[in-house]
């Protein structure tokens, strides 16, 4: 087994920072040592297999992106990143675990959907991965199959209040699934938008000749996110099911979460970098068909209305607990272009899995969040929320050596011809400048990225059987 010493850095956790050397043996962290420690009189540097100099740098637990959609069929096409390309891109950006969504639709069996996801991911991932289960058709079979999920290491599942005819569940179905989840200890993840109302508005806009990507954002009004968030909270309350609302983008939805949390409810929320930085006016409203690059749901929202500032605030006040990407990339050519002349036909999704750690670090630079909160939002809370903590989400003896050496004096220019490893023909984050740099990435003790070169391999990543959430009140 190889040993590695990460020497001279500042180890940052969700609760503090300390100058320490990190000793790794095989796949695990075995010790945090005072800087320059010797062991029984031996200079550690000469006794270990490899030394990584982290002087002046942050040493943080590897990122956990708890919301990705690799190879997801959507809108007549499929998300363009495979598990191989998507996890490689994630590794480049300092993410060492993803949790992707296995899919079940109406008429399909959960067991088959899950098996298909194992087939897609198995042997292809560069980093460790787990699954949530999408239940897109709540019926007697899927409700029964929920009973098997915990044994499969899947302790969270997603329902949709949006996308009628695709993944949509009505209130009765949601109630039934939540009752089951409450019994089983599963965490219910909710896409909270009023899909039937959105579809009516979208059709009306289309019939008025309002067909450009901008109108995707108009049809998906914040009121319909607020309303669905409120309804989800109430359905969860009546069933006593814990609730995690995904990809929150509306200020008013955060207010709903905050109010429920104020009443002591087990209600949590995630936002994504796109809702912190991008807007209806600047991106969705870009000239011509450009805005299609940023068509995702929930949609980018108006900066004039203050949604982005409210997301940052929610991250500070802990009314939002996590930042995931909702990575669901589609190329412009042949994919997004399906919606030229009809925004309803643009496949929904943005690719960000490579950039989440950097984009969130920029929030540290600009004073939106603290260094510790950066680690908490991107690694520690995802681990706790989704039953991985102890193995993932921290640097401590016994934890997996999933570690990023991050250089605050470095710089990252994001762009298609610069840092871009996702399988997309455009960069949703083109032109973003980050005052920091992912230098070295270790996955279970193995260096997979080091100063601009990639040493990972498809199949290194293992499937993670997750435990029950460690975050509930």
Judged by beta carbon distances under 5 to 8 A according to partner kind, the member of ligand URP, Zn ion, none in contact with residue 437 is: Zn ion
Distance CA 463, CA 461 (A): 7
Q: Which string of x and - marks every residue 174-213 that binds ligand URP (by CB under 6 A)?
A: -----------------x----------------------
Give the closest residue to 428 by CA, choosing from 282, 236, 241. 282
Longest dimension (CA), the chain: 79
Which CA distances in Å does 146 have to 152, 157, 238, 393? 10, 9, 20, 27
Q: Which is nearer to ligand URP, 63 or 349 (by Cβ)?
A: 349
Give the closest residue to 320 by CA, choosing from 366, 359, 373, 397. 373
Asked whether position 296 contacts ligand URP by CB under 6 A, the answer is: yes
Distance CA 284, CA 301 (A): 9
Judged by beta carbon distances under 5 to 8 A according to partner kind, the member of Zn ion, ligand URP, none in contact with residue 439 is: Zn ion
Distance CA 161, CA 170 (A): 7
Q: Which residue stretch of 79-87, 120-128, 177-185, 191-199 sits at the interface with Zn ion (rule: CB under 5 A)? A: 191-199
Residue 353 CB, nearest distance to ligand URP (Å)? 13
377, two tokens:
């939002």
Applying CB under 5 A, among 407, 429, 445, 456 the residue interacting with Zn ion is 407
Distance CA 114, CA 100 (A): 11
Applying CB under 5 A, among 7, 348, 439, 443 the residue interacting with Zn ion is 439
Asked whether position 348 contacts ligand URP by CB under 6 A, the answer is: yes
Secondary structure of residue 68 in the 3-state scheme: strand
Q: Which is nearer to ligand URP, 48 or 276 (by Cβ)?
A: 276
Asked whether position 328 contacts ligand URP by CB under 6 A, the answer is: yes
Q: How many helices (H) and strands (E) does the chain have?
A: 14, 25
153, two tokens:
């290491």
Judged by beta carbon distances under 5 to 8 A according to partner kind, the member of ligand URP, Zn ion, none in contact with residue 348 is: ligand URP
Name the residue whose CB lies closest to ligand URP: 348
Asked whether position 349 contacts ligand URP by CB under 6 A, the answer is: yes
Asked whether position 326 contacts ligand URP by CB under 6 A, the answer is: yes
Q: Which residue stretch of 7-15, 43-51, 141-149, 319-327 sits at the interface with Zn ion (rule: CB under 5 A)? A: 319-327
Residue 243 CB, nearest distance to ligand URP (Å)? 16
Distance CA 222, CA 202 (A): 14
Residue 381 CB, nearest distance to Zn ion (Å)? 18
**SS3 letters across 100-152:** EEEEEECCCCHHHHHHHHHHHHCCCCCCEEEEEEEEECCCHHHHHHHHHHHHH
Judged by beta carbon distances under 5 to 8 A according to partner kind, the member of Zn ion, ligand URP, none in contact with residue 373 is: none
Rounded to a whole number of angstroms, the CA Rg of the chain reads 22
CB contact at 8 A, 94 and 63: yes
Q: Which string of x and - marks every residue 42-71 that binds ligand URP (by CB under 6 A)?
A: ---------------------------x--
Residues forming contacts to Zn ion in the complex (CB under 5 A) are: 191, 326, 407, 410, 437, 439
Residues forming contacts to ligand URP in the complex (CB under 6 A) are: 69, 191, 247, 296-297, 326, 328, 348-349
């Amino acid at each position: 087994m190889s040993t590695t010493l990460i020497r001279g850095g500042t180890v940052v956790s969700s609760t503090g920072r300390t100058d320490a050397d990190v000793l790794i043996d095989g796949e695990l962290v075995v010790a945090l040592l005072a800087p320059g420690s010797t062991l029984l009189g031996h200079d550690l540097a000469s006794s270990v297999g490899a030394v990584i100099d982290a002087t002046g740098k942050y040493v943080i637990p590897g990122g956990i992106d708890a919301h990705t959609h690799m190879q997801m069929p959507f809108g007549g096409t499929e998300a363009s990143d495979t598990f191989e390309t998507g996890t490689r891109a994630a590794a480049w950006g300092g993410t060492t675990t993803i949790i992707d969504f296995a899919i079940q639709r109406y008429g399909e069996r959960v067991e088959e959907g899950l098996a298909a996801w194992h087939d897609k991911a198995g042997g292809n991932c560069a980093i460790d991965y787990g699954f949530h289960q999408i239940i897109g058709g709540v019926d007697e079979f899927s409700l029964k199959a929920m009973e098997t999920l915990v044994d499969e290491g899947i302790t969270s599942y997603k329902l949709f209040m949006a996308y009628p005819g695709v993944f949509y569940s009505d209130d009765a179905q949601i109630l039934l699934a939540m009752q089951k989840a409450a019994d089983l200890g599963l965490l219910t993840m909710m896409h909270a938008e009023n899909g039937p109302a959105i579809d009516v508005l979208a059709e009306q806009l289309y019939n008025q000749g309002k067909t450009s990507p901008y109108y995707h954002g108009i049809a998906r009004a914040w009121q319909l996110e607020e309303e669905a968030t409120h309804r989800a909270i109430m359905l969860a309350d009546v069933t006593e099911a814990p609730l995690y609302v995904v990809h929150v983008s509306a200020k008013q939805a955060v207010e709903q979460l905050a109010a429920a949390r104020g009443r002591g409810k087990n209600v949590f929320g995630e936002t994504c970098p796109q809702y912190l930085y991008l807007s209806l006016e600047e991106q969705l409203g870009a000239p011509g068909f450009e805005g299609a690059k940023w068509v995702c749901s929930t949609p980018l929202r108006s900066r004039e209305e203050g949604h982005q500032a409210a997301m940052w605030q929610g991250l500070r006040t802990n009314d939002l607990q996590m930042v995931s990407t909702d990575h669901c990339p589609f190329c412009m050519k042949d994919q997004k272009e399906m919606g030229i002349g009809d925004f309803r036909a643009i496949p929904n999704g943005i690719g960000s899995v490579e950039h989440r750690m950097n984009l969130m670090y920029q929030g540290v630079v600009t004073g939106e969040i603290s260094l510790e909160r950066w680690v908490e939002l991107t690694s520690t809370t995802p681990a706790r929320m989704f039953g991985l903590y102890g193995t993932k989400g921290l640097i401590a003896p016994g934890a997996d050596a999933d570690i990023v050496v991050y250089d605050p004096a470095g710089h990252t220019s994001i762009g298609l011809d610069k840092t871009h490893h996702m399988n997309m023909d455009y960069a949703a984050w083109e032109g973003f400048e980050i005052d920091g740099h992912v230098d070295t990435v270790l996955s279970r003790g193995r260096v997979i990225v080091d100063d601009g070169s990639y040493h990972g391999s498809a199949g290194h990543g293992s499937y993670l059987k997750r435990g029950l959430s460690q975050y509930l009140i």
